A and B are shown apart, each in its own frame.
Chain A
């Protein structure tokens, strides 16, 4: 039988997921000292871990070259296409927030507002819900710069503690744009063809997650 292939978002989500799998009794030594390898076996070879960038996790799972993936809800909301979202893993918690310069009433006036963000789709959806027609500028790096330099009226970005914003003189205008955490996703066909293996793994992960709460 082919190993179950799971794509992990490199970095913190990878560490947290590996931690969870370890608690669940899988041997994760190959992932812990991986060197430069990107495909790694865990357990006794029944699972294979692939390390990838967040948006690529979705691409691999959607195309069925990976059966499962662990990726942040932020990436899903921005790139979401067709796959199954089967478990909220509870870690990697943060939220989408709208933030602007201090002492500025963002909603005042009828001028078209400009929003800088790494997440244009999330931003569009959020303002559509408010019935606001806005202009979006996509920024790749530190989004906080845009309002400071005068390029944008506000930003939509993920916020964990809010300290970066504070240090740069920005305040949160709204932080209920959407709550974020890591999700376990599955390829549509894989979930049907390998139901018992995937459900067993998801159940184990869910149990461990509940324990560590």
Chain B
């Protein structure tokens, strides 16, 4: 049998030094924003029962989840998303807690993507969920947290707004089966204009068909809403447009200008989201770095109905972008190597600690001899060597700076 002891599984990797620091820095930055806005951190298990992530509820394809069985033969999955476990937690342990609940998380999620495409199967995700509150204030609270979180990391992000109810209202007017409707939704999601057109051409023509035909192109500034309003006379659909306009106007107070965009073709996981949806993009990342929306029906599945809204940020993608732009502070270099003479080991450890407390980057030498310590310091570019014995003397290692 082939031995795989020396390779990591497809889509996973070790994070070393600056990568690790970048990841941690971004996690901390986001965590600070979230807790600063009054959200409290939770962690959920990496293993859950498959039932929690059933495709009908989660919208996550069964093939893309890591599965295994427990000792009773029950099907388990590696956490494929954080919102569902949090919904489970809220409906059980927090069922009697005062609402709204303001929760945040920062943990890994696992998806089994198609091999050899360069996609990560293990992704660090940080996000918030506001559960038990509905309406404009709740939406603005969460979306402004999203904007604040991205602002803390990258200045040039874009936020995109849509509404799951818009497509639902229009698609409800089409004389098609749910399966066909799902197909149409998929063509809009993938902006597949030609397939969408050929499907719609076969339907009896109506104003609803016309506007669905335009849907993948309905993204851009506020003018998109004007165009959609002109094309549409369905009351329900119009009310979703009014709501998007209301949110857009409120959020535009952040001064994002053209970085706040509207995309009425944002129909991802449309059965999961119930109202406003949004995502965030950053130059340098080929996929959205933030995805969120209102999911008022999800908690029903756990017999604990409650309105809810949340978003998740791809910490890995964001830290990769920040690292490539040098916006992560570098790992500080060791300035002093502390070496002890025989019998002075504990004093040296104490002395190193004193230096560190004085914000001097020091490292305690673990070498047997002074020569070895000196050679190490030179190789690593450490400029000073302090020898601790009867007396403490510091020498220059004569490293070129």
A binding-site residues for B, Cβ under 8 Å? 59, 62-65, 81-88, 183, 186-193, 195
- CB-defined contacts of B281 to chain A, threshold 8 Å: 189, 192-193
**Cα–Cα, bound, A134→B41 (Å):** 50
- CB-defined contacts of B220 to chain A, threshold 8 Å: 195
Interface residues on B, range: 20 to 34
B binding-site residues for A, Cβ under 8 Å? 114, 117-118, 158, 160, 190-195, 216, 219-220, 261, 263, 281-283, 285-288
- B285 and A189 contact, CB distance less than 8 A: yes
**Cα–Cα, bound, A195→B281 (Å):** 13
- B160 and A86 contact, CB distance less than 8 A: no
**Cα–Cα, bound, A191→B118 (Å):** 21
- Select one of B118, B160, B192 contacting A192, CB under 8 A: B160
- Select one of B190, B282, B283 contacting A84, CB under 8 A: B190
- A64 and B286 contact, CB distance less than 8 A: yes
- B191 and A191 contact, CB distance less than 8 A: yes
**Cα–Cα, bound, A88→B160 (Å):** 26
- Select one of A59, A81, A83, A86 contacting B193, CB under 8 A: A86
Q: How near does chain B come to A66, taking the closest CB pair, in angstroms? A: 9
**Cα–Cα, bound, A183→B219 (Å):** 21
- A192 and B191 contact, CB distance less than 8 A: no
**A64-B287, A65-B286, A190-B286 known; A195 vs B194 contact (CB < 8 Å):** no
Q: Which residue of B lies closest to A66 (CB)?
A: B286
**Cα–Cα, bound, A190→B158 (Å):** 11
- CB-defined contacts of B193 to chain A, threshold 8 Å: 85-88
- A62 and B117 contact, CB distance less than 8 A: yes
**Cα–Cα, bound, A181→B287 (Å):** 26
- CB-defined contacts of A63 to chain B, threshold 8 Å: 117-118, 286
- CB-defined contacts of A82 to chain B, threshold 8 Å: 190, 287
- CB-defined contacts of B191 to chain A, threshold 8 Å: 84-86, 186, 191
**A84-B191, A85-B190, A85-B191 known; A195 vs B219 contact (CB < 8 Å):** yes
- Select one of B118, B194, B216 contacting A183, CB under 8 A: B194
**Cα–Cα, bound, A82→B363 (Å):** 48
